[in-house]
Amino acid sequence: MFVDHPLILKDSIELREYQRALADACLKESTLVVLPTGMGKTVIALLVIADVLASRKGKVLLLAPTKPLVEQHAMFLKDKLVGKRVAVLTGEVDPEEREAEWVQSDVIASTPQVIANDLRTERITLRDVRLIIFDEAHRGVGNYAYVPIAQEYMGHDGLVLGMTASPGSSMAKIKEVCGNLGIENIEVRSEADPDVSSYVHDIHVDWVEVEVPVGMRKVADVLRKLYKRYIQELITMGVMTAARPPSVKYLLEVQRMIQQRLNKGEKSHTLYNALSIQARAIKVGHALELAETQGVTALTSYLEKLKAEAASDDGSKASRAIVASDEFEEVTRMLSALRMEHPKISRVMGIVSNQLQVKPDSRVLVFTQYRDTCDMVTNLVAKIDGARVTKLIGQSGRINEKGLKQKEQIGVLQRFRNGEFNVLVATSVGEEGLDVANTDLVIFYEPVPSEIRSIQRRGRTGRSRAGRVVVLVTAGTRDEASLNSSEKKEREMRRRLRTLKEQWDRESAKNPRPKKVEKKGQTSLGDFPPD
């Protein structure tokens, strides 16, 4: 069966009960929809948009964090919506043209920075908007442009639809997102829910453990020695405590604390020195993580960057101190003698090769945390018979390489979908929202500590057919901590979402919610950088 609606292209959208039920809930009150990636949040948005345009008149505003995501949504809506004008507004469109498009269009898909700026300059108004959709709604915190737009919208008699695969694991973060966006209701579905399970394709997850090679373990031992020395210096200075593990999070807290003391006028040589040592600890800690979880290529590249930074006129004191240390010299010498990469890369090559042999028409997606690792994996996987490999990276460039502009990212994804490439190696830019393709295999080169990113990565497979996820974990390293962290946060997120929904439902039954009023003291519509 297909969706039957006068504003939706006939026989184009499969009717799924859970999507219709979620859309109906969203039409009653402003709602946050939490649904696994690949389960059709965009279709739910389409159903809500069509009903709002049919019954409430006015405009619909759909916001997404990036231009590729905006254009993807707009393309879908233009294809499925009947008799309604859909406009795309990004920073590349002249302000005067944006103003005209706003007036003429029924649905506007845009990046939030553009809308925030056009509201500030009064080129547009939200008075006629009956529905705002915040895609990747978990971004609606702090000073992100979603927040002032939502605040401006409060007081207007319109609906809000927030969509995300994960709003965060803490109750405070979930409540912040809902409060900032004017959301009054939460709807949660998982693959296990009865109305969803029949549409879910099996996703088999494998955790593959590898060991740090002996040579790289010796390199890591030297880096750890230097790292511990810096931590001990910070403890001696009284800015850290030995009772607490020296995690990156703790080191960043120390940095903020020192900076606050300096800003309050507590100028002292000890504090300035502590700030430099804290920076050294962060840099060496990162090098240690690369040694244990990434390999020779990534670590060598990072050390070369530190060396270049130390040699430059505006290089940091921290980089100069690290490069001048005996440990840095020893690590550089040891690396030059190593010929073996991290065992993860051989596992990736074996897994990809086997997948393409068993199922030659497969699509494979490999996620890597770091650009250097992305380059290495791309180059080595390209040597596999039958592998047609490309990479998806962000916009920021480096000395020897330009990043991919957003239009180029869209082109890469389209060529992957079309089958020109069958293996895509991506950094984090491939995680959020983009319709990557129906992939048969997703490989995590390393676990990520964020439950949001982990859910998004997994959701790139199992969409229209069964899929497999392989997570590579280096034993005894931060990989294990990252894996445990993301799994724990995901469990907590689902428990807290259901708790909050039950609480809101009980309160709603006793006391109908009052009309939304504009909140004071929230982020104002200042200037936002071009998207």
Burial category of 416 from C-beta neighbours within 10 Å (exposed 0-12, middle 13-18, buried 19 and up): buried
* Burial class of residue 108, CB neighbours in 10 A (0-12, 13-18, 19+): buried
Predicted local distance difference test score (pLDDT) of residue 449: 82
State the pLDDT at residue 515: 46
Statement: 214-337 belongs to CATH 3.40.1160.10: no
Predicted local confidence at residue 520, as pLDDT: 43
From CA 50, how far away is CA 399, in angstroms rounded? 48
pTM of the model: 0.74
Query: 185 φ, ψ to 5°?
Result: -145, 150
pLDDT at 384: 96
For the chain, the domains span 17-195, 203-211+342-480, 214-337
Residues of the chain with pLDDT under 70: 200-202, 397-401, 430-437, 456-457, 459-466, 508, 510-526, 528-531
CB atoms within 10 A of CB 260: 10
User: Rounded to the nearest 5°, which phi and psi values hold at 110?
Assistant: -155, 165
Q: What is the CATH number of domain 17-195?
A: 3.40.50.300
Please tell me if the domain spanning 17-195 has the same topology as the one spanning 214-337. no
| Residue range 470-519, pLDDT digits in tens | 999 999 999 998 888 888 888 888 888 888 888 878 876 766 554 444 44
Query: Does the domain made of 203-211+342-480 have the CATH classification 3.40.50.300?
Result: yes
The pLDDT assigned to 453 comes to: 72
